[in-house]
Amino acid sequence: MRIEGVNFVSSSFIYVDRQKTGGTANRGGWKNMDDYYNCVLKFIGDDYVGVKKYGNGIKKGRRSKKTEAMLKEEIRKIEMDTVLSNVEKMVKITVLKENWSEENERKNTATKEPKGRKLTMKEREEFSDLMDVNFKRGDKYVTLTYAKEDVSLDEARRDFDNWIKRMREKYGDFKYLGVRSFQERGTIHFHVLMTLPDIPIDELRSGTFQSIWGLGTVDVKKIYQLSMVGKYAKLKNYLLKNLCEFREDERSFGKRLLLKSKNLEKPLVIKGTYKEIMEISNGLEGDLKKIDGYKFSLEYLHHISCATYRRVFDKAEN
């Protein structure tokens, strides 16, 4: 896929080519426009795009792992930099601290007191993106429960992995995306989206399909409606609710949030300035019809506004 004026750097992230700005300041306060972006365009399959705009610019590039001493030294250099404005300093320091906290949460999980937490916006978006890009009407929605009580998360993960292996032995390769939650009785259960073929009716009636799990009940449904946003996205909203409850439970501390196959595709993402993203959006084939949008305040980024569009193509041109 080639869009004029865009340089593809990797399969997941691409950056827009731009001319040097000569150090002109933008609303976000950043000087070197080549180092920052404030807008993201996301291609969700062939029929939808998402646009996210930040009130302040975000620096490009991967985060490097830092010790606390390295973090303090970097903050000191930012504070002493006479070229940066107060807004730039605040943004840079806040982002540094948040990134450092996330890295150390993953690294020091074993030494921390187990506790639940809220689901982050990044985690919500990751799940939504994977669901929107990889699953469609006709795919399967499977729920697995245990007959016995007091199943640990480690044991449940081993059982789930073994079930996936047995399923692939019988039905071949497929994609899956699973979430876990705790029932009222305290036992874990699974909700899984799967690109399985239609299960023969005799296998369902005889219990052959259910026996592949063999540890409790199995419920399989064919997906007939799969909306992306709003009140009609009932399945997505329900699974996100389960994710929230799982992450808020202290038993999920240090555990992987999603159960997912390695063959899931990610949306194609373009990062650039708002002007550049709008130019690319306006150049896309077909019209963009807005189907969802929201905006909220965030201290160090000023605000984030998000919108989802459906691409409408003129059938007469096809």
CA-to-CA separations, 149 to 187, 197, 216, in angstroms, rounded: 6, 32, 11
**pLDDT tens sequence across 26-65:** 433 444 456 788 999 999 888 899 999 988 888 776 444 5
**pLDDT tens sequence across 126-154:** 999 999 999 999 999 999 999 988 889 99
Interatomic CA distance for residues 270 and 60, integer angstroms? 12
Helix (H, G, I), strand (E, B) or coil at 25: coil
- Percent pLDDT > 90 in the chain is 36
Position with higher pLDDT, 260 vs 187: 260
Residue range(s) occupied by CATH 3.30.70.260 in the chain:
121-253
Q: What is the pLDDT of residue 263?
A: 95
Q: Where are the beta strands (DSSP E) in the chain?
A: 6-7, 13-16, 36-44, 48-59, 140-144, 176-182, 188-194, 218-222, 259-260, 268-272, 287-298, 302-312
190: pLDDT strictly greater than 80: yes
173: pLDDT strictly greater than 90: yes
Structure tokens at 271: 């990062």
**pLDDT tens sequence across 88-98:** 788 778 777 76
Interatomic CA distance for residues 212 and 214, integer angstroms? 6
- Fold entry, domain 121-253: Alpha-Beta Plaits (3.30.70)
Q: What is the pLDDT of residue 316?
A: 52
Helix (H, G, I), strand (E, B) or coil at 258: coil
Q: Scanning the structure block, which residue is given the tokens 């009130």?
A: 55
Calculate the CA 51 to chain-centre distance. 14
Interatomic CA distance for residues 59 and 32, integer angstroms? 10
Query: Would strands 302-312 and 36-44 be described as parallel, antiparallel, or unpaired?
Result: unpaired
Whether pTM exceeds 0.95: no
